[in-house]
């Protein structure tokens, strides 16, 4: 612990008193306790009897001990995923790059909530090989360009993608040709099409539509709080949250990626 250069925040202000013969919480006398007048311990630089080595930062401690793999969030984020490979639900592999940007210009921008949604926006866009997330703005790029240091940058670079992920699309979203692609709703919202995938729970309503994905999406667009749909026959299930993904060959899903 003494050899660590990071992971502990030194506390240098404050002090503690003791040996008063009185319980500091209850105010009652402590029988048999020694009394040492003016006994005080100060917080100082480095180890001290008041705060020890300082306040621990669990994430930094794991990194310092070479155990950063145990510090992963459920979805990719910076800095814990930096330099690691992330496999999407569609089978593609991305390398997470924290603090690095690429000089190529983006060809499209979508607005998302997190890096995972930014990566899935890239997954659903033919030709996308790199993403940069700045706040809620997700920049999609078709080439990398030179790598440049950019403190605070959050990105993901495509390493491999299953063959045939972006098949020729029909006029309106359908399965299986639109699987793992993005559908632009009439409002400008973007939905990620998932054929044969359902998400557990989160149901907020059910309506009957014309057996089409766009009809189910339109119903979601009219429903406050709807972020996901599952179409089974003519039944369109509207969901207010996105639960665990499970295989269901009878379902045609559309998950909200970004709002206009």
We report the CATH number of the domain holding residue 103 as 3.50.4.10
Within a domain: residue 65? yes
Q: How many domains does the chain have?
A: 3
Among 43, 71, 99, the domain boundary falls at: 71
Of 52, 71, 90, which residue is a domain's last?
A: 71
The reply to whether 134 falls in a domain is: yes
In a domain? residue 169: no
Residue 204 and residue 147 in one domain: no
Q: Is position 176 within any domain?
A: no
For 44, what's the count of Cα atoms within 13 Å in the CB-facing half-sphere?
A: 6
173 domain residue, yes or no: no
Sheet of 130-134, strand order: 85-87, 93-102, 147-160, 130-134, 137-141, 108-111
244 within some domain: yes
pTM, to two decimals: 0.47
Instruction: Kindly state whether residue 241 falls inside one of the protein's structural domains.
Output: yes
Q: Looking at 5-136, which runs of residues are DSSP E strands?
A: 8-9, 15-17, 40-42, 55-56, 85-87, 93-102, 108-111, 130-134
pLDDT by residue for the chain (260 residues), tens digit each? 666 655 677 788 888 887 888 887 788 888 887 788 878 888 888 888 888 887 776 656 665 665 554 445 557 888 888 888 888 877 788 999 998 898 889 988 888 778 888 888 888 777 888 999 988 888 999 888 888 888 888 999 998 877 655 544 456 788 887 888 888 888 888 888 999 999 999 999 999 988 889 999 999 999 999 999 999 998 999 999 988 888 899 999 999 988 76
Domain that holds residue 55: 1-71
């Amino acid at each position: 612990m003494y050899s660590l250069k990071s992971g502990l925040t030194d506390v240098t202000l404050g002090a503690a008193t003791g040996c008063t013969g009185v319980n500091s919480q209850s105010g009652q006398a402590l029988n048999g306790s020694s009394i040492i007048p003016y006994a005080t311990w100060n917080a100082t630089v480095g180890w001290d009897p008041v705060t020890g080595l300082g306040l621990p930062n669990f994430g930094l401690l794991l990194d310092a001990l070479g155990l950063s793999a145990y510090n992963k969030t459920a979805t990719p984020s910076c800095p814990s995923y930096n330099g690691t490979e992330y496999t999407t639900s569609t089978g593609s592999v991305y390398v997470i790059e924290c603090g690095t940007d690429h000089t190529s210009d983006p060809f499209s921008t979508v607005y998302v909530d997190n890096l995972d949604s930014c990566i899935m926006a890239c997954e659903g866009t033919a030709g996308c090989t790199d993403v940069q997330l700045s706040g809620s703005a997700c920049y999609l790029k078709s080439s990398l360009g030179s790598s440049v240091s950019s403190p605070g940058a959050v990105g993901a670079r495509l390493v491999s993608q299953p063959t045939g992920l972006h098949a020729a699309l029909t006029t309106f979203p359908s399965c299986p040709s639109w699987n793992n692609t993005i559908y632009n709703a009439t409002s400008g919202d973007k939905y990620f099409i998932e054929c044969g995938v359902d998400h557990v729970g989160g149901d907020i309503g059910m309506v009957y539509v014309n057996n089409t994905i766009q009809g189910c999406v339109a119903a979601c667009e009219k429903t406050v709080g709807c972020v996901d749909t599952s179409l089974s026959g003519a039944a369109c299930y509207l969901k207010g949250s996105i639960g665990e993904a499970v295989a269901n060959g009878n379902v045609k899903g559309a998950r909200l990626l970004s709002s206009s």
